[in-house]
Structure 1
């Protein structure tokens, strides 16, 4: 009986050494969770009432439990390196099977899918059509590589201050080519057509004979876009001049506030680009304008269109939303990283390569968005380090070695006792 107990002690000490060796081997493995060898005593069955006299039969290995504690998060600066600060696992698709990992060293494959080093694809919630919601079915994350589409301008903003002491121009009628026929002009706003080609919108301000009243003429690439304007044709024989049309009247109160138009919106006539793009139908918002002082000042300009753009970078927020950022300032949401958690993470089946799979013991995965429920946040440009404490493992190694030596010495002692008994005459 003593021999068996010592042999079991040697076996458990050897198992403890093996677990420690595995931990030390993975001290630099991304997302690795250290393991702990767990043991139980072995007690030989005895008859009823004889338990007080029972002698144990040694020990046995009952479990190698992984410790799912938080590892240190190290900055890498690489956009597809992801770390989870808190609970949860990355959800991956490995050839149609769902697997889970804490290692976020992802990369893009030749088809643009975001994968781990073994080719398992990162799962995300697909975005809605407007990119504001992420509650659809899980799908593989795929990075965009093409240009973003342009957006034609529909709304313009122009804020200015007109001088209250302005006089009527000395030359009439208004002609944009004659500077003395208008009082002031805007610096020009760049607008875009449906093909992403830029054009310049310019406003000309003419002081009228009425107090606190101005006429504003609007042009795009030198073509009038006032009410009733008709583009000319300088290539015709003889050349056909443009019809400038009727200007929009701006009226101000005696305190300088804009009163007409009441909503500050000036509808611009249709402009047909020569690029083959569709007609531009725009509205100019001058609601922030005033009439003060003695000088013309332009305060603010803006418009809602943009040209096509090239992909600059991939950005991932703390909530796991993956954005493609383009050179034209547009962010396109590609999806939201899906995290999963389990009631019993230690019940997961280790698949190797930093992967785990669901088992009956782990329970059903709870999958959701980062930073929701009990799921952690995503830290992009970072990786979670191994949880192995090398100093602690070296101490464990020494302890297991001493246990091994002690059990071996116990075998030697029992052998000597047995030999003594055999030699009795």
Structure 2
């Protein structure tokens, strides 16, 4: 009996020495978890009986218990090194076998996959081409290709225009004329422009010419700038649930019943403003109806309740003349000169003082403020867009500014001029008395579409990037995805006119040039970001972590990894820093949780136990030898 007892103690102490030695050997192994031997005593017993011998039969090793306590976290210089702060295991793909580890010494292999030192691939949640994470789990891969360029489709400009700024030098004439209603077309007439040198220019207007056409003809003349607008009103009686309103050939079928919280007029106003009719906007007339504005001065084709006979629309033309220019109107058969005091522009024309210096981007005296930003074409080439702001005379109690736009010093206005070249892009910003942007060219959305920009190279030649799509060719907002032209939107919805200095509060656009991979970052939630030389970053994926109901049941298989067993239960895989899962510390590693001091003490104890059990065997041998020596 004593021999067996001693032998069992030797075996148990030997296992204890082995486990302690293994812990000491791996005291510097990243992610290693120490183990501890658990012993149990032995007593003789039989079937349905605990036996009658109260003397024990020795000791046995019940289990080698793993300690999954947190190890210390140390920092490294490798951006892909990761440490788990809390519960969880990295999920690794070992050629189809799934393993779990706390060792986060990772790098990138030749195929771009994130792997550990044994070429096991790190598992994570995949991201699509736009960086949106999905719930699909797979091998995390770093795309080392260049980041493709993205053309600019939206430019956000949040500015403050100083309301204290005055209108630039006032000297000259601003003429406003009113076009008769569509059912009472304009008469044939000649608009005569008199210049200071005594020369005259006659502009012939044919009968029935639209306001937009008159403005276009005047814009061709030197020292003359003209814009037009057409306005019509739909009364409340013309907007009924279940009815149809037609605007510029587009039918708006008013639903019946109307959505809760809206009136038929409110529904129609929203529908028109959200429609592809970029030059048409709708506002309330304060009496249950709507006012429709065509910002270019073209005739409005309207129909409602099946009748068009009662529809009245008015076109207005605003003409800005350079210093000492005069404008007059006469019948083609009337030989009167432009200096005749009877001259006027169309019916109901009026004149008001205006600033004399016509906008010139090369002359800082002709604009109040300017700001520039960088945008990108479809090839990733950068271009400079400049927005110029000019304070306009106050009219009708509203404060107005004119915004001019140029790209690389070139005009981008649509429609094109007589020679097919882009016209000057000018937009009128109206502000409420509270300094809030009310509309741009009558459109309350606060945005403008740039639809006539042809990207050029440094020599002024087309650079091969996607070109414009004009309004006449079907250009619309929002910009289609994927975009098919160089068109983009300038959004000024947050622009204000307060009594403080001009300032650019925010100016951002969504385009960028091509970029090369310059580095990787990992967030606390395990999201892997790629950084590129163009300043952009993109989400490549998110590291997955696994947890088990019984981590002690995992089976160690070497290389500081474990595999799932029946005792551990199935893994629960999720995103870091969610639920009970820990967070990720980038450029860090979790050290072994072995307490070297405690292991050295335990080594002494194991050695002492081994020696003591050996002494038991030695003593039993001496006793046995004494018996054998009896005569």
Q: Normalized against structure 1, the TM-score is what?
A: 0.89
Contact 2:422-2:452 within 8 A present in 1 as well: no
- 2: CA distance between counterparts of 1:299 and 1:122? 43
Partner residue in 1 for 2:87: 87
CA distance in 1 between partners of 2:424 and 2:48 (Å): 113
Q: What displacement does 1:73 show?
A: 1.1
Following the alignment from structure 1 to structure 2, what is the Cα–Cα distance between the partners of residues 111 and 50? 64
Which secondary structure state, in structure 1, belongs to the residue aligned with residue 607 of structure 2?
Answer: helix
Per-residue CA deviation, residues 128-163 of structure 1 (Å, 9 max, x unaligned), is 564333311x21111121221222112223314245
What's the CA shift for 1:296? 5.4
Residue number in structure 2 paired with 1:259: 438
The structure whose Rg is larger is: 2
Aligned equivalent of 2:337 = none
Q: 5+ unaligned residues in a row in structure 1: which ranges? A: 233-239
Q: Distance in 2 between matches of 1:193 and 1:50?
A: 88
Q: 1:294 to 1:90 in 2, by over 3 A?
A: closer
Q: Matches of 2:133 and 2:370 in 1, distance apart?
A: 40
Is 1:154 the counterpart of 2:153 in the alignment? yes
**1:363 matched to 2:363:** no
Distance in 2 (alpha carbons) for counterparts of 1:166 and 1:115: 66
Assess if the C-alpha contact under 8 Å between 1:164 and 1:291 holds in 2: no
Mapped to 2, the partners of 1:182 and 1:401 lie a distance apart of 95
Contact 1:270 1:282 in 2 (8 A): no
| Deviation for aligned residue 1:256 | 4.5
- The number of aligned residues is 416
Residue 351 of structure 1 deviates from its aligned partner by 1.2
Pick the aligned partner of 2:370 from 178, 186, 210.
Answer: 186
Superposition RMSD in Å: 2.6
Equivalent position of 1:249 in the other structure:
428
Which stretch has the larger CA shift, 210-219 or 317-326? 210-219
TM-score, L = length of structure 2: 0.61
Instruction: Determine the structure 1 residue equivalent to 2:380.
Output: 196
For the 8 Å contact 2:133–2:541, the answer to whether it is kept is no
Q: In terms of mean alpha carbon deviation, does 285-294 or 125-134 score higher? A: 285-294
Residue 228 (1) aligns with residue 400 (2): no
Q: Using a 3 Å threshold, how does the CA distance of structure 1 residues 424 and 124 change in structure 2: closer, same or farther?
A: same
Is the 1:185–1:202 Cα contact (8 Å) retained in structure 2? no
Greater CA drift, 393-402 or 155-164:
155-164
Separation (CA, whole Å) in 2 of partners of 1:25 and 1:382: 22
State the 1:113 CA deviation. 0.9
Deviation for aligned residue 1:277: 1.2
**Structure-2 separation of matches of 1:247 and 1:115:** 57
- The residue aligned with 1:41 is 41
SS of 2:99's equivalent in the other structure is: strand
Q: How big is the shift at 1:295?
A: 6.8
Q: CA deviation at 1:323?
A: 1.3
Tell me, yes or no, if the aligned pair for 1:36 and 1:66 is still in contact at 8 Å. yes
CA separation of 1:60/1:155 partners in 2, compared to 1, >3 Å: closer, same or farther?
Answer: same
Cα shift at 1:330: 2.5
Does the C-alpha gap of structure 1 residues 243 and 169 become closer, same or farther in structure 2, counting only changes over 3 Å? farther
